[in-house]
Amino acid sequence: MSTPQKARPENALEIKALRKTYPARGNEPAKEALKGVDLAIPRGSVFGLLGPNGAGKSTLINILAGLVNKTDGGVSIWGFDQDRNPRMSRASIGVVPQELHLDPFFTPFEAMEIQAGMYGVPARERRTAELLDALGLGDKMHVGARSLSGGMKRRLLIGKALAHSPPVLILDEPTAGVDIDLRRQLWDFVRRLNEDGTTIILTTHYLEEAEEMCDRIAIINHGEVIANEPKADLLSRIDRKTMTITPVDPLTDVPAILAREAALDCALGADGTLSISYSRSETTPGAILDLVRAAEIGIRDVMTQEAGLETIFLDLTH
């Protein structure tokens, strides 16, 4: 079962009214993990799927991967309906799981070849050596998997997910426990994949990664999608910004002209800098700088900072 040949759909993934209820077990009542989830993931995007622990992300991913049966709703992957054409739907997606599950007795090359064979990829069409080289495992392809470091095993999992050249790739916490250098290498590789046309779906608890990598973000909580929009639109929800003034002469207190402005929240740093938090809908940076000059503060440097995705995430999920 090699990579499906089909006209490229507008959406790489479409989920409609997806529900999953786990039955009661022992003293535990039935649990509704997904409550009518609707998602459309555009082809060619880097899509962030975020949510706190227990929100339903893992259940959703396992349904997409064919590991969990849904209770109700519809799933279409690369235009293939999961119920009507499960074989091609499954062949259209690659999943990199959180857990480092690898057979220690196979070399990376053997593991990749077996994975490609399971999907029916002919030997002449396999890209095993090419993928291992791209993932920085070229010199390790013929050593036992048990000798690989945690970061190398993570890269091998990505290689296995790509063995059948799926148009859609799910990365479930791909940089968990990975050092900074390897994290940067992984993201460089993911960017190249996306530039070549692969649709990326990313789950991560490192929200700064989602903010940097994703062009669209959905947030799921208690089994429901509570936000789904382009990253720029999501970030524009934040109204507050902070301006930090580094004065020529360090300040010892907040000037009265600034302290009495109700729209401003001023704080003095230990190094004599002045931080001014304000609402963009109530005032402007220019008006604040006019007040700073009126207070006869000589300005050495000015820096502005917006709250990021973490602020929105916490606001929505709490």
Residue 6 has pLDDT above 60, yes or no: no
At residue 224, the pLDDT reads 95
Q: Decide if 201 contacts 13 (C-beta within 8 A).
A: yes
Residue 318 has pLDDT above 80, yes or no: no
At residue 5, the pLDDT reads 52
**Average of per-residue pLDDT across 308-314:** 78
Residue 294 has pLDDT above 60, yes or no: yes
Residue 233 has pLDDT above 90, yes or no: no
Answer yes or no: do 159 and 66 share one domain.
yes
Residue 126 has pLDDT above 70, yes or no: yes
Answer yes or no: do 221 and 257 share one domain.
no
CA atoms of 31 and 6, how far apart (whole Å): 37
Answer yes or no: do 212 and 249 share one domain.
no
CA atoms of 172 and 195, how far apart (whole Å): 20
Answer yes or no: do 157 and 294 share one domain.
no
Q: What torsion, rounded to 10 degrees, do the Cα atoms 215, 234, 36, 43 define?
A: -20
Answer yes or no: do 141 and 247 share one domain.
no
Instruction: Note the pTM of the prediction, 2 decimals.
Output: 0.79
**Average of per-residue pLDDT across 298-304:** 91
Answer yes or no: do 187 and 284 share one domain.
no
CATH of the domain at 257: 3.30.70.100
CATH of the domain at 168: 3.40.50.300
**Which of 235, 269, 284 represents a domain boundary (last residue)?**
235
Answer yes or no: do 155 and 20 share one domain.
yes
**Average of per-residue pLDDT across 88-109:** 90
The verdict on residue 315 lying in a domain is no
Answer yes or no: do 126 and 209 share one domain.
yes
Give the model's confidence band at 64: pLDDT under 50 very low, under 70 low, under 90 confident, else very high.
very high
The 10s digit of each residue's pLDDT in 267-277 is 999 999 999 99
Tell me which residue range forms the domain holding 44: 11-235
The 10s digit of each residue's pLDDT in 14-55 is 999 999 999 988 888 899 999 999 999 999 999 999 999 889
At residue 245, the pLDDT reads 94
Distances (CA, A) of 12 to 71, 154, 234, 288: 22, 25, 21, 46
The 10s digit of each residue's pLDDT in 193-220 is 999 999 999 998 888 889 889 999 999 9
Answer yes or no: do 75 and 130 share one domain.
yes
At residue 307, the pLDDT reads 66
Answer yes or no: do 202 and 295 share one domain.
no
Share of the chain above pLDDT 70, in %: 97
Judged by average pLDDT, the poorest of 3-7, 138-142, 188-192, 279-283 is: 3-7
Answer yes or no: do 171 and 49 share one domain.
yes
Q: Decide if 300 contacts 248 (C-beta within 8 A).
A: yes
CA atoms of 307 and 277, how far apart (whole Å): 11
The verdict on residue 166 lying in a domain is yes
At residue 221, the pLDDT reads 94
The verdict on residue 317 lying in a domain is no
Judged by average pLDDT, the poorest of 57-66, 74-83, 85-94, 145-154 is: 145-154
